[in-house]
Amino acid sequence: MKVVVLGMGGTIAGVADASALRGYRAGEVAVARLLDGLDLATGVELVAEQVAQVDSKDMDEALWLALALRARHWLAQDAVAGVVVTHGTDTLEETAFFLHAALDPAKPLVLTGAMRPSTDAAPDGPGNLRDAVAVAADPAARGVLVVFAGQVFGASGVRKVHPRDVDAFEGGDAGPVGRVGAGGFVATGRWPRAGAEHAPWALEALARRLDEGQGLPWVAWVASHAGATGDEVRALLAAGVAGLVVAGTGNAMVHRRLEVALEEARAAGVPVVVGSRCGQGDAQPAEAGDRALALTPSQARIALQLRLLGA
Protein backbone atom coordinates (compact mmCIF):
# COMPACT_ATOMS: atom_id res chain seq x y z
CA MET A 1 0.00 0.00 0.00
CA LYS A 2 1.53 3.29 -1.13
CA VAL A 3 1.07 6.66 0.60
CA VAL A 4 2.58 9.77 -0.96
CA VAL A 5 3.80 12.56 1.34
CA LEU A 6 3.97 16.03 -0.22
CA GLY A 7 6.11 18.53 1.68
CA MET A 8 5.15 22.21 1.87
CA GLY A 9 7.41 23.31 4.73
CA GLY A 10 6.04 24.84 7.95
CA THR A 11 6.98 24.28 11.59
CA ILE A 12 6.92 20.51 11.18
CA ALA A 13 9.98 21.04 8.97
CA GLY A 14 11.27 23.98 11.01
CA VAL A 15 14.42 24.38 13.07
CA ALA A 16 15.31 26.53 16.06
CA ASP A 17 17.85 26.84 18.84
CA ALA A 18 17.34 23.81 21.07
CA SER A 19 17.07 25.90 24.25
CA ALA A 20 14.49 28.37 22.91
CA LEU A 21 12.78 29.46 19.73
CA ARG A 22 15.66 31.80 18.88
CA GLY A 23 16.68 31.54 15.27
CA TYR A 24 13.43 29.81 14.31
CA ARG A 25 13.12 29.10 10.58
CA ALA A 26 10.17 27.27 9.03
CA GLY A 27 10.45 24.71 6.26
CA GLU A 28 14.16 23.99 6.55
CA VAL A 29 13.99 20.19 6.73
CA ALA A 30 13.25 18.20 3.57
CA VAL A 31 10.13 16.07 3.72
CA ALA A 32 12.12 12.92 3.00
CA ARG A 33 14.07 13.49 6.24
CA LEU A 34 10.84 13.87 8.20
CA LEU A 35 9.94 10.31 7.20
CA ASP A 36 13.19 8.81 8.52
CA GLY A 37 12.45 6.35 11.32
CA LEU A 38 8.70 6.93 11.21
CA ASP A 39 6.82 4.08 12.89
CA LEU A 40 4.52 2.69 10.19
CA ALA A 41 2.00 -0.09 9.93
CA THR A 42 3.18 -3.20 8.11
CA GLY A 43 2.82 -3.00 4.36
CA VAL A 44 2.78 0.81 4.05
CA GLU A 45 5.24 2.20 1.50
CA LEU A 46 6.00 5.93 1.56
CA VAL A 47 6.91 8.15 -1.38
CA ALA A 48 8.17 11.65 -0.57
CA GLU A 49 7.95 14.67 -2.85
CA GLN A 50 8.95 18.23 -2.02
CA VAL A 51 6.48 20.73 -3.48
CA ALA A 52 7.61 23.80 -1.50
CA GLN A 53 9.54 24.79 1.63
CA VAL A 54 7.70 27.82 2.93
CA ASP A 55 6.48 29.38 6.16
CA SER A 56 2.73 28.96 5.71
CA LYS A 57 2.07 32.59 6.65
CA ASP A 58 3.48 33.27 3.16
CA MET A 59 1.25 30.75 1.35
CA ASP A 60 -0.20 31.99 -1.94
CA GLU A 61 -2.44 30.74 -4.73
CA ALA A 62 0.43 29.75 -7.01
CA LEU A 63 1.59 27.33 -4.31
CA TRP A 64 -1.98 26.12 -3.84
CA LEU A 65 -2.17 25.34 -7.53
CA ALA A 66 1.16 23.50 -7.53
CA LEU A 67 0.12 21.44 -4.50
CA ALA A 68 -3.33 20.64 -5.88
CA LEU A 69 -1.92 19.49 -9.21
CA ARG A 70 0.56 17.15 -7.54
CA ALA A 71 -2.10 15.82 -5.16
CA ARG A 72 -4.47 15.22 -8.08
CA HIS A 73 -1.69 13.44 -10.00
CA TRP A 74 -0.91 11.04 -7.18
CA LEU A 75 -4.51 10.41 -6.13
CA ALA A 76 -5.24 9.27 -9.70
CA GLN A 77 -2.68 6.45 -9.39
CA ASP A 78 -4.29 3.09 -8.64
CA ALA A 79 -1.37 2.03 -6.45
CA VAL A 80 -1.73 5.09 -4.17
CA ALA A 81 -4.05 4.68 -1.21
CA GLY A 82 -3.88 8.30 -0.13
CA VAL A 83 -1.80 11.46 0.06
CA VAL A 84 -0.41 13.31 3.09
CA VAL A 85 0.60 16.98 3.00
CA THR A 86 3.00 18.40 5.60
CA HIS A 87 2.10 22.07 6.04
CA GLY A 88 2.51 25.03 8.36
CA THR A 89 -0.34 25.64 10.77
CA ASP A 90 -0.95 29.36 10.17
CA THR A 91 -2.84 28.85 6.91
CA LEU A 92 -3.45 25.11 7.07
CA GLU A 93 -7.23 25.58 7.31
CA GLU A 94 -7.17 27.70 4.14
CA THR A 95 -5.11 25.24 2.12
CA ALA A 96 -7.29 22.37 3.33
CA PHE A 97 -10.45 24.16 2.23
CA PHE A 98 -8.99 25.08 -1.17
CA LEU A 99 -8.09 21.43 -1.82
CA HIS A 100 -11.49 20.32 -0.52
CA ALA A 101 -13.36 22.65 -2.87
CA ALA A 102 -11.11 22.18 -5.90
CA LEU A 103 -10.58 18.40 -5.72
CA ASP A 104 -13.27 16.78 -3.52
CA PRO A 105 -11.22 13.56 -3.68
CA ALA A 106 -12.62 10.08 -3.30
CA LYS A 107 -9.37 8.99 -1.61
CA PRO A 108 -7.99 10.54 1.59
CA LEU A 109 -5.95 13.73 1.19
CA VAL A 110 -4.63 14.40 4.68
CA LEU A 111 -2.96 17.60 5.91
CA THR A 112 -0.89 17.72 9.06
CA GLY A 113 1.76 19.88 10.69
CA ALA A 114 3.27 20.71 14.05
CA MET A 115 3.36 23.38 16.70
CA ARG A 116 6.95 22.59 17.71
CA PRO A 117 9.88 22.61 15.29
CA SER A 118 11.67 19.41 14.37
CA THR A 119 14.63 20.33 16.59
CA ASP A 120 12.47 20.67 19.74
CA ALA A 121 13.24 18.33 22.63
CA ALA A 122 9.72 16.93 22.32
CA PRO A 123 8.53 17.61 18.76
CA ASP A 124 4.88 16.88 17.99
CA GLY A 125 5.48 16.57 14.25
CA PRO A 126 6.51 12.88 14.13
CA GLY A 127 3.37 11.76 15.96
CA ASN A 128 1.11 13.90 13.79
CA LEU A 129 2.81 12.62 10.64
CA ARG A 130 2.54 9.00 11.74
CA ASP A 131 -1.18 9.49 12.46
CA ALA A 132 -1.73 11.25 9.12
CA VAL A 133 -0.13 8.35 7.25
CA ALA A 134 -2.32 5.88 9.16
CA VAL A 135 -5.45 7.77 8.09
CA ALA A 136 -4.26 8.12 4.49
CA ALA A 137 -3.66 4.36 4.35
CA ASP A 138 -7.09 3.48 5.75
CA PRO A 139 -9.22 2.00 2.94
CA ALA A 140 -12.40 3.53 4.41
CA ALA A 141 -11.12 7.10 4.59
CA ARG A 142 -11.98 9.72 1.97
CA GLY A 143 -11.95 13.46 1.38
CA VAL A 144 -9.69 16.27 2.53
CA LEU A 145 -8.86 15.82 6.20
CA VAL A 146 -6.73 17.52 8.85
CA VAL A 147 -4.98 15.28 11.38
CA PHE A 148 -3.64 16.96 14.49
CA ALA A 149 -2.99 15.84 18.07
CA GLY A 150 -4.82 12.56 17.58
CA GLN A 151 -7.95 14.10 16.08
CA VAL A 152 -9.18 14.00 12.48
CA PHE A 153 -11.22 16.90 11.12
CA GLY A 154 -13.00 17.52 7.85
CA ALA A 155 -11.56 20.37 5.80
CA SER A 156 -14.75 22.46 5.87
CA GLY A 157 -14.93 24.34 9.17
CA VAL A 158 -11.61 23.17 10.65
CA ARG A 159 -9.83 26.05 12.38
CA LYS A 160 -6.70 26.88 14.32
CA VAL A 161 -7.78 28.03 17.78
CA HIS A 162 -4.52 28.35 19.73
CA PRO A 163 -1.18 29.93 18.76
CA ARG A 164 1.03 27.63 20.86
CA ASP A 165 -0.71 24.49 22.20
CA VAL A 166 -0.08 21.19 20.43
CA ASP A 167 -3.84 20.57 20.15
CA ALA A 168 -4.26 23.80 18.23
CA PHE A 169 -7.14 22.77 15.93
CA GLU A 170 -10.84 22.07 16.32
CA GLY A 171 -13.68 21.38 13.93
CA GLY A 172 -16.47 23.78 14.82
CA ASP A 173 -19.87 22.35 15.68
CA ALA A 174 -19.18 19.36 13.41
CA GLY A 175 -16.35 18.24 15.67
CA PRO A 176 -13.84 15.58 14.61
CA VAL A 177 -14.65 12.90 12.05
CA GLY A 178 -12.29 10.48 13.72
CA ARG A 179 -9.52 9.89 16.23
CA VAL A 180 -6.14 8.20 16.07
CA GLY A 181 -4.72 6.45 19.12
CA ALA A 182 -2.86 3.38 20.25
CA GLY A 183 -5.63 1.23 18.83
CA GLY A 184 -5.34 2.83 15.40
CA PHE A 185 -7.76 5.05 13.52
CA VAL A 186 -11.44 5.10 14.48
CA ALA A 187 -13.97 7.07 12.42
CA THR A 188 -16.64 8.84 14.48
CA GLY A 189 -18.37 11.04 11.88
CA ARG A 190 -19.12 11.38 8.21
CA TRP A 191 -16.42 11.85 5.61
CA PRO A 192 -16.28 15.34 4.11
CA ARG A 193 -17.88 15.96 0.73
CA ALA A 194 -17.61 19.32 -1.01
CA GLY A 195 -21.21 19.37 -2.26
CA ALA A 196 -22.18 22.92 -3.18
CA GLU A 197 -18.65 24.05 -2.32
CA HIS A 198 -17.14 21.92 -5.10
CA ALA A 199 -15.41 24.01 -7.78
CA PRO A 200 -14.22 21.51 -10.42
CA TRP A 201 -13.18 24.38 -12.70
CA ALA A 202 -10.83 25.88 -10.12
CA LEU A 203 -7.42 24.50 -11.10
CA GLU A 204 -7.61 25.10 -14.82
CA ALA A 205 -9.19 28.54 -14.37
CA LEU A 206 -6.61 29.55 -11.77
CA ALA A 207 -3.77 28.32 -13.99
CA ARG A 208 -5.03 30.54 -16.83
CA ARG A 209 -5.28 33.56 -14.54
CA LEU A 210 -1.79 33.02 -13.17
CA ASP A 211 -0.45 32.79 -16.73
CA GLU A 212 -2.08 36.18 -17.34
CA GLY A 213 -0.38 37.69 -14.29
CA GLN A 214 -3.51 37.51 -12.13
CA GLY A 215 -4.58 35.36 -9.23
CA LEU A 216 -7.89 34.50 -7.62
CA PRO A 217 -10.52 37.28 -7.76
CA TRP A 218 -9.96 39.96 -5.11
CA VAL A 219 -12.15 39.23 -2.12
CA ALA A 220 -11.53 41.40 0.93
CA TRP A 221 -12.19 40.39 4.52
CA VAL A 222 -13.58 43.01 6.92
CA ALA A 223 -14.95 42.75 10.45
CA SER A 224 -17.97 44.14 12.23
CA HIS A 225 -17.22 45.79 15.56
CA ALA A 226 -18.40 48.49 17.92
CA GLY A 227 -18.33 51.85 16.19
CA ALA A 228 -18.11 50.39 12.67
CA THR A 229 -18.86 52.96 9.95
CA GLY A 230 -18.59 50.98 6.72
CA ASP A 231 -16.04 53.43 5.34
CA GLU A 232 -13.57 50.62 4.65
CA VAL A 233 -16.21 48.91 2.50
CA ARG A 234 -16.70 52.08 0.45
CA ALA A 235 -12.93 52.41 0.02
CA LEU A 236 -12.72 48.81 -1.17
CA LEU A 237 -15.56 49.36 -3.63
CA ALA A 238 -13.78 52.39 -5.03
CA ALA A 239 -10.62 50.30 -5.43
CA GLY A 240 -12.42 47.61 -7.44
CA VAL A 241 -12.91 44.77 -4.94
CA ALA A 242 -14.72 41.77 -6.48
CA GLY A 243 -16.32 40.39 -3.31
CA LEU A 244 -16.55 40.92 0.44
CA VAL A 245 -16.46 38.57 3.41
CA VAL A 246 -17.54 39.99 6.76
CA ALA A 247 -16.54 38.52 10.12
CA GLY A 248 -19.69 39.46 12.00
CA THR A 249 -20.21 39.53 15.74
CA GLY A 250 -21.94 36.64 17.51
CA ASN A 251 -24.37 34.86 15.21
CA ALA A 252 -23.05 36.61 12.10
CA MET A 253 -24.47 39.99 13.13
CA VAL A 254 -23.37 43.27 11.48
CA HIS A 255 -23.32 46.83 12.85
CA ARG A 256 -26.17 48.90 11.37
CA ARG A 257 -23.80 51.41 9.76
CA LEU A 258 -21.67 48.67 8.24
CA GLU A 259 -24.84 47.00 6.94
CA VAL A 260 -25.71 50.19 5.03
CA ALA A 261 -22.33 50.05 3.27
CA LEU A 262 -22.78 46.36 2.53
CA GLU A 263 -26.14 47.08 0.91
CA GLU A 264 -24.34 49.62 -1.28
CA ALA A 265 -21.89 46.86 -2.26
CA ARG A 266 -24.71 44.46 -3.12
CA ALA A 267 -26.44 47.15 -5.16
CA ALA A 268 -23.19 47.60 -7.10
CA GLY A 269 -23.13 43.89 -7.94
CA VAL A 270 -20.43 42.97 -5.42
CA PRO A 271 -21.34 39.73 -3.57
CA VAL A 272 -21.19 39.81 0.22
CA VAL A 273 -20.83 36.81 2.53
CA VAL A 274 -21.21 37.19 6.29
CA GLY A 275 -19.79 34.79 8.88
CA SER A 276 -18.87 35.04 12.55
CA ARG A 277 -15.67 36.27 14.14
CA CYS A 278 -16.25 33.85 17.06
CA GLY A 279 -13.43 31.34 17.34
CA GLN A 280 -15.64 28.37 18.14
CA GLY A 281 -19.06 27.12 17.13
CA ASP A 282 -20.99 27.74 13.93
CA ALA A 283 -23.17 30.84 13.63
CA GLN A 284 -26.93 30.26 13.49
CA PRO A 285 -28.56 33.64 12.88
CA ALA A 286 -32.34 33.93 12.65
CA GLU A 287 -32.08 34.92 8.97
CA ALA A 288 -29.28 33.04 7.20
CA GLY A 289 -29.37 34.94 3.90
CA ASP A 290 -25.84 35.11 2.56
CA ARG A 291 -24.31 33.94 5.85
CA ALA A 292 -21.46 31.40 5.74
CA LEU A 293 -22.61 29.41 8.74
CA ALA A 294 -20.13 26.53 8.91
CA LEU A 295 -17.00 28.15 7.46
CA THR A 296 -14.37 30.29 9.08
CA PRO A 297 -14.07 33.77 7.51
CA SER A 298 -10.82 32.69 5.86
CA GLN A 299 -12.54 29.68 4.28
CA ALA A 300 -15.62 31.71 3.30
CA ARG A 301 -13.25 34.05 1.46
CA ILE A 302 -11.85 31.16 -0.59
CA ALA A 303 -15.34 29.81 -1.31
CA LEU A 304 -16.38 33.20 -2.68
CA GLN A 305 -13.16 33.54 -4.69
CA LEU A 306 -13.80 30.19 -6.33
CA ARG A 307 -17.42 31.07 -7.00
CA LEU A 308 -16.31 34.27 -8.75
CA LEU A 309 -13.61 32.36 -10.61
CA GLY A 310 -16.25 30.16 -12.20
CA ALA A 311 -18.73 32.95 -12.93
Cβ neighbourhood burial of 290 (10 Å; 0-12, 13-18, 19+): middle
Distance of CA 146 to the CA centre of its chain: 8
Q: Which helix (H) or strand (E) holds 147?
A: strand 143-148
- What's the full length of the chain, in residues? 311
Pairing of strands 80-86, 108-112: parallel
Beta strand extents in 149-226 (DSSP E only): 151-154, 159-160, 169-170, 178-181, 184-187, 219-223
CB-CB neighbours of 186 under 10 Å: 11
DSSP 8-state secondary structure symbol assigned to residue 108:
E
11, 86, 89, 296: the catalytic one is 11
- Does residue 95 have an active-site annotation? no
d(CA 210, CA 170): 33
Catalytically active residues are 11
